[in-house]
Structure 1
Amino acid sequence: MFQEQVLLRIPGPTPLPPQVERAMNRPITGHRSGEFSRLFAETAERLKLVFQTQQDVLILAGSGTAGLEAAVCNVVSPGDKVLVLCGGNFGERFVKICKAYGANVLEVEASWGDPIDPELVAATLAEHPDVKAVFATHCETSTGVLHPIREIARRVQATAALLIVDAVSSLGAVDLPMDDWGLDIVVTGSQKALMLPPGLTFLALSERAWDVVANNRTPRFYFDLRAYKKQLQARTTPYTPAVSLLYGLDEVLKLIEAEGLPRIFDRHLLLQKMTRRAVQALELPLFTTDEAASPTVTSVGVCDFDVEKLRQALRTAFNLSVAGGQQHLKGQIFRIGHMGYCSPADVLQTIALLEVGLFQAGAPVALGRGVRAAQEVYLTHKEAVTHG
């Protein structure tokens, strides 16, 4: 009916707040001008709140994967032994990047849908005390699992290894206090909880990490984080920045500052609970346990109906996009994103449309049951907040 009425409920990119869209339509200014330098320096400083760090936050033009590669090539020299924690597609991506830079890669694996076992991390590090860095994924977007980074960090801190965290689909939605938990490098991207289009990646490094970067032998140019840190002190970037996205970032930070991190984290937990209870009420399997589930994406487990037919029905009837499975889970699961610019009203709408799509895909579904379950979670939550 309305071709531009797009309902995006995938784990990224996520919908954009209208004020962010308007900000990005501002006329472009010179990226070496005083006006831009002020904006750049201010937004970089304000990003420390999101990372919960006192360290500098670096801003690079590039995707989240660019940030992951930057973390690898600034820390890893050829032949270095590293440990990658792998429980899904994006853990496997860290493996591929590390191998591309000549690292000697060890892996701690978890079945897709299960969290990484911190004790297995500790045992592996005890067996290999020469591991230089541990690479972990906070939210594994391909499975909807939130890995226990705080517990993993405690095990890594007992060693000389750095802990490098992919927080692309969690930072800004899930509590991840970089300094308090002792994380050495945290990487995120613009197109998830930070409510921007793809195109920016952000990194913050501990003092320990900067020492390693300074002595790393791997050649790098565009991704040389030393250049970004040096130019940040001059209130600029070493290479052309994504000017329009930084206009949008300024507005995003205003929204985050106004809502406050505790309320943001609470909102995402509410969205998670509403979605999961709705899925259960519709008698669909969840791919992860409640304890391991991410607040930003819900994975619906292996179904006895045609998942791709469901996704097609939702796109055709409502222009609603939910994500499918990746790799061996393609066609077996689907994933609902609920992060960033997403409210309880959005979840209720998504569940109502999902019920219709399930019916059209031939799944046995009792219309209204999922919506009611989500409504009950919402009302219980609001009552608890009111009387808490």
Structure 2
Amino acid sequence: MEYLVMLPGPTNVPNRVMNAMLAPVINHRSEDFRVLYRSIIEKTQKLFQTQSDVILLSSSGTGAVESSVVNLIRKGDKVVIPVNGEFSTRLADLIDSWGGQSIRIESPYGENPSYDEFEEVFDEHKDIKALYVVYNETSTGTTIRYMDKLGDLCGRKNAFYIADSVSILGGDELPVDKWNIDICVTASQKAIAAPPGVSPISVSPKAKKYIQENPAPILYFNLKRYFKYYSEHFETPFTPALPLCYAYDEALNLIFEEGLENRIKRHRKCADAFYEGLGAMGLTPYAKPDARSNVVIAVNYLEGVDDKKFRDLLSNEFKVLVAGGFGNLKGRVFRIGSMGEVNKYHVVRTLSAIESAFRMMGIDVPSGSINKAISKLN
């Protein structure tokens, strides 16, 4: 039996996408590559729902996030960022280490700050350059549900708006242009359901102008260089991960065959099913109700459950992989990646394995979780 990869990334990859990597290696300075790359960029723009420039980095999502910082932020720049988990903390630390001045709007893990707090910070500081937001905090299963209002706020205050959407784009709403997002970052191995290693970035005309007039003192992640190579040659400045480009292209094909709206609905249904089924076992979500993610389900452990023993049991006996908690959540929660090609089979098999694993550990959980979950999938 193959592993069922229910991690918050990398996720299960459809066979069609894996097989696409068997395509022959081509010259990345050839017309063959230019045709492929133009096609990928156009499809990615459609996925992001943007008319803006799109850049494809051969890197992890973290590399793309770092690129957004080093190309836009300069010494002393004030940057607002909500902090409520591991990845938003890392991003705030990155901004500070690059010389920016992060203004952190902190809230308890599992919760989001109120929108009014952003208004207050912008009113207090008249020289804010940018707002960075981790749209989906992977470490806590928390999603910000007022991204559109933050875009309006940045527009009124003439601040750049940057969305770290690594773990959510392709699995939930994200109309980049409609929400006034200047830089949007994601990665291939999450809701897009491709192998890791490709990280697309969209850059608005406003952000592009700034980046071109104020080039970053770096080489590989220098976005100005990527703009130049694409506009002049329809190429990347450095050798791209060609097999991953083929896989990413095929993953995009699958997304549009299903339809983006249908895909988002499927993710929402599967999330509802997970929350319902886990709740039937007596488990509670870590995130507050108004902040719960549709792509990362973070769940509090029942009293006395050993994290490693539980996840090892799932892996070894049932071939189901889920993730543990980060930092001070280690041992307190486990996380399910409900993203990518997730469907009824993934939900039912995962819940069945979790229920059985608890019973094997001597924990009496109520039965009926599968039926509860299925009621949300029909």
Normalized against structure 2, the TM-score is what?
0.96
Query: How far apart, in 2, do the equivalents of 1:265 and 1:72 lie?
Result: 29
1:176-255 map, 5 Å = 176-216=174-214, 218-233=216-231, 234-255=233-254
Q: Give, in angstroms, the shift of residue 274 of structure 1.
A: 0.3
Kindly indicate whether residue 317 of structure 2 is the aligned counterpart of residue 320 of structure 1.
Answer: no
Unaligned stretches of 5+ in structure 2?
A: none
Residues 287 and 302 of structure 1 are in contact (CA less than 8 Å); yes or no, is this contact kept in structure 2?
Answer: no
Distance 1:220 1:173, change over 3 A: same
- Matched AA of 2:256: E
Kindly indicate whether residue 348 of structure 2 is the aligned counterpart of residue 351 of structure 1.
Answer: no
Query: How far apart, in 1, do the equivalents of 2:169 and 2:313 lie?
Result: 32
Q: Give, in angstroms, the shift of residue 104 of structure 1.
A: 1.4
Q: Give, in angstroms, the shift of residue 212 of structure 1.
A: 2.2
Q: Give, in angstroms, the shift of residue 221 of structure 1.
A: 1.3
Unaligned stretches of 5+ in structure 1?
A: 380-388
Q: Give, in angstroms, the shift of residue 211 of structure 1.
A: 2.4
Query: How far apart, in 2, do the equivalents of 1:138 and 1:223 lie?
Result: 22
Query: How far apart, in 1, do the equivalents of 2:77 and 2:376 lie?
Result: 49
Q: Give, in angstroms, the shift of residue 363 of structure 1.
A: 2.3
Q: Percent identity?
A: 34
* Correspondence for 2:29: 32
Residues 107 and 113 of structure 2 are in contact (CA less than 8 Å); yes or no, is this contact kept in structure 1?
Answer: yes
* Correspondence for 1:383: none
Q: Tell me, what secondary structure is at the counterpart of 2:91?
A: helix
* Correspondence for 1:262: 261
- Matched AA of 1:138: Y
Q: Give, in angstroms, the shift of residue 289 of structure 1.
A: 3.0
Deviations 1:239-295 (A, max 9, x none): 000100111112111111111111011000001000000011111111123331111
Residues 77 and 216 of structure 1 are in contact (CA less than 8 Å); yes or no, is this contact kept in structure 2?
Answer: no
Kindly indicate whether residue 148 of structure 2 is the aligned counterpart of residue 158 of structure 1.
Answer: no
Residues 118 and 155 of structure 1 are in contact (CA less than 8 Å); yes or no, is this contact kept in structure 2?
Answer: no
Query: How far apart, in 1, do the equivalents of 2:281 and 2:143 lie?
Result: 23
Q: Tell me, what secondary structure is at the counterpart of 1:189?
A: coil
Query: How far apart, in 1, do the equivalents of 2:210 and 2:108 lie?
Result: 32
Residue number among 8, 30, 53 corresponding to 2:5 in the alignment: 8
Q: Give, in angstroms, the shift of residue 320 of structure 1.
A: 1.2
Q: Tell me, what secondary structure is at the counterpart of 1:342?
A: coil
* Correspondence for 1:140: 137
Q: Give, in angstroms, the shift of residue 94 of structure 1.
A: 0.8
Residues 162 and 184 of structure 1 are in contact (CA less than 8 Å); yes or no, is this contact kept in structure 2?
Answer: yes
Query: How far apart, in 1, do the equivalents of 2:364 and 2:348 lie?
Result: 20
- Pairs aligned (count): 375
Q: Tell me, what secondary structure is at the counterpart of 1:22?
A: helix
- Matched AA of 1:271: C
Q: Give, in angstroms, the shift of residue 27 of structure 1.
A: 1.9
* Correspondence for 1:57: 54
Query: How far apart, in 2, do the equivalents of 1:215 and 1:93 lie?
Result: 28
Residues 45 and 56 of structure 1 are in contact (CA less than 8 Å); yes or no, is this contact kept in structure 2?
Answer: no
Query: How far apart, in 2, do the equivalents of 1:335 and 1:267 lie?
Result: 19
Q: Give, in angstroms, the shift of residue 231 of structure 1.
A: 1.2
Distance 1:217 1:230, change over 3 A: closer
Query: What is the aligned-residue RMSD (CA, Å)?
Result: 1.3
Further displaced range: 321-330 or 94-103: 94-103
Q: Tell me, what secondary structure is at the counterpart of 2:220?
A: coil
Residues 17 and 341 of structure 1 are in contact (CA less than 8 Å); yes or no, is this contact kept in structure 2?
Answer: yes
Residue number among 47, 64, 68 corresponding to 1:67 in the alignment: 64
Q: Tell me, what secondary structure is at the counterpart of 1:291?
A: helix
Q: Give, in angstroms, the shift of residue 97 of structure 1.
A: 1.4
* Correspondence for 1:338: 338
Q: Structure 1 residue runs of 4+, over 4 Å off? A: none
Q: Give, in angstroms, the shift of residue 301 of structure 1.
A: 1.8
Residues 81 and 103 of structure 1 are in contact (CA less than 8 Å); yes or no, is this contact kept in structure 2?
Answer: yes
* Correspondence for 1:43: 40
Query: How far apart, in 2, do the equivalents of 1:212 and 1:192 lie?
Result: 30
Query: How far apart, in 1, do the equivalents of 2:365 and 2:227 lie?
Result: 54
Query: How far apart, in 2, do the equivalents of 1:284 and 1:353 lie?
Result: 14
Residues 133 and 161 of structure 1 are in contact (CA less than 8 Å); yes or no, is this contact kept in structure 2?
Answer: yes
- Matched AA of 2:278: V
Deviations 1:191-234 (A, max 9, x none): 10111111111110111111221333641211111111121122
- Matched AA of 1:277: E
Distance 1:27 1:217, change over 3 A: closer
- Matched AA of 2:366: A
Residues 198 and 248 of structure 2 are in contact (CA less than 8 Å); yes or no, is this contact kept in structure 1?
Answer: no
Query: How far apart, in 1, do the equivalents of 2:335 and 2:311 lie?
Result: 10
- Matched AA of 1:247: Y
* Correspondence for 1:95: 92
* Correspondence for 2:274: 275
Q: Tell me, what secondary structure is at the counterpart of 1:132?
A: strand
Normalized against structure 1, the TM-score is what?
0.94
* Correspondence for 1:384: none
Residues 78 and 218 of structure 1 are in contact (CA less than 8 Å); yes or no, is this contact kept in structure 2?
Answer: no
